Structure 1
Amino acid sequence: MKKSKSLYHGHRFPAEVISCAVRWYFRFQLSLRDIEELLFERGVIVTYETIRCWCDKFGKGFAHWVKAVQRKPGSTWHLDEMFVTLRGEPHLLWRAVDERGAELDILLQKRRDKAAAKRFFKRVLRSSP
């Protein structure tokens, strides 16, 4: 039986360093230079250009992994309706929230619109169980 090569095979840095840098870049939306500085504080000397190459190469796989791990919405959900003021004007905010508090969808409109509310309900019902 053949042993498959690691995804990070042939790279100078360990897989933990590469995956940590890619995760920081996509998860926390840090700049490449910020990540370079954070790694330097931990004793890893790497350029921001190397981090950019890692993000280009491994970013797609990381995004697929995050999407697969992401929690599915709960079976029970609630709808909040509230008025908010934006730039001095009142707006109506609709939020669909599941039982764990995760937002399923948001709708913001200037005034109550029955047709838009129906479309919002249909979209939320289609996406949740």
Structure 2
Amino acid sequence: MNHFKGKQFQKDVIIISVGYYLRYNLSYRDVQEILYDRGINVSHTTIYRWVQEYGKRLYQIWKKKNRQSFYSWKMDETYIKIKGKWHYLYRAIDSEGMTLDIWLRRKRNT
């Protein structure tokens, strides 16, 4: 079933605007302004309705997709040279090879 059928805006616009609201601590008017800067004229009340309609569903999809990364992950350490100075590069990866986090440190004990 297509949940976006009959909407005035494309699926991508709806997902991006709901994602901006949920991911970052933005108001509906802030999201409206961001979309307006990108050439999309949408009302803040429309964004509110999208969040109410699609917010829970998008969260469930995200949770289902990212569930695996919390169970199995590995830490990789390497020593690299940046602008003539040596640094430690740490990378956390999950079982599928997706990068979870990256740290760059000058000393190994930090």
TM-score by length of 2: 0.61
* Alpha-carbon contact 2:18-2:54 (below 8 Å) kept: yes
Q: CA–CA distance in 1 between the matches of 2:38 and 2:26?
A: 16
Alignment of 1:1-129 (within 5 A): 4=1, 6-70=2-66, 71-74=69-72, 100=92
Larger radius of gyration: 1
Tell me how far 1:73 sits from its aligned partner: 3.0
Paired letter, 1:74: S
Q: CA–CA distance in 2 between the matches of 1:24 and 1:59?
A: 11
Paired letter, 1:16: D
* Alpha-carbon contact 2:74-2:92 (below 8 Å) kept: no
Paired letter, 2:46: T
* Alpha-carbon contact 1:21-1:51 (below 8 Å) kept: yes
Equivalent pairs, count: 77
Tell me how far 1:65 sits from its aligned partner: 1.0
**Structure 2 unpaired stretches of 5+:** 76-90, 94-99, 101-110
* Alpha-carbon contact 1:74-1:100 (below 8 Å) kept: no
TM-score by length of 1: 0.53
**Structure 1 unpaired stretches of 5+:** 78-98, 103-129
SS in 1 for 2:70: coil
For residue 85 of structure 2, what is the aligned residue in structure 1?
none
37-46 or 63-72, which moves further after superposition? 63-72
Segments ≥4 residues shifted beyond 3 Å: none
